[in-house]
Amino acid sequence: MSKLIIGRHHESEWNKLGLWTGIRDRHLTDYGFKKSEEMGLLIRDIHVDRAFASMQVRSIETLSSMLDIMGEYNVPTEHSATLNERDYGDYTGKSKWDMQKIVGEQKWEEIRRGWDHPIPRGETLKMVYDRSVPYFLEKILPFVLAGENILIVAHGNSCRAMIKYIENISDDKIADVEMSFGAVFIYELDKNGRMVKKEIRQTESVVNA
């Protein structure tokens, strides 16, 4: 059965500093490049027929590193802004850890993990879901159903949005779902894009995010 593989980009320059990056473009660190290659090695037993990534450079660099280390040099690849990270609005560029102290633990967790918690001039996870999941269903799922192995490399929140749909996770339970750095989720799907089988492979990763 064909596979859908979902991975999050690895450590960027602002991840290392503990800053909310959102739609701001920042490159991977040397550590991020190294760990992206390790992510590729996790799935080297699976031939990738087609790949998708966001328009942001940290996602593109992670995908390229994964495919290169796998020896997959001719994979058709599509980039879409619908897979971009959540826009953190006024919080962009601010220290997550400073904000934790300012707003308190409960609100900080709601900001980071909540389903529809607003951010000044930014996006909620629900808004990310509303742009990324239709793209997944219309542009990616048909290739999976046609028998291709598909690799998606995106961001913490766009990955969580797709996982919410694939695993049919409720609005209140999505706060418990984390897409870890260095993890790849490998799914088998039914005709509606829902999970039939799931496997998680993980490379040890320590990221200040």
Annotated catalytic sites, by residue? 9, 85
Count, in order, helices (H) and strands (E) of the chain.
8, 6
Give the DSSP letter of residue 207. Answer: -
**Bridge partners (DSSP) listed for residue 202:** 183
CA-CA distance, 90 to 47, in Å (whole number)? 41
8 Å CB contact between 10 and 32: yes
CA-CA distance, 207 to 60, in Å (whole number)? 19
CA-CA distance, 184 to 102, in Å (whole number)? 33
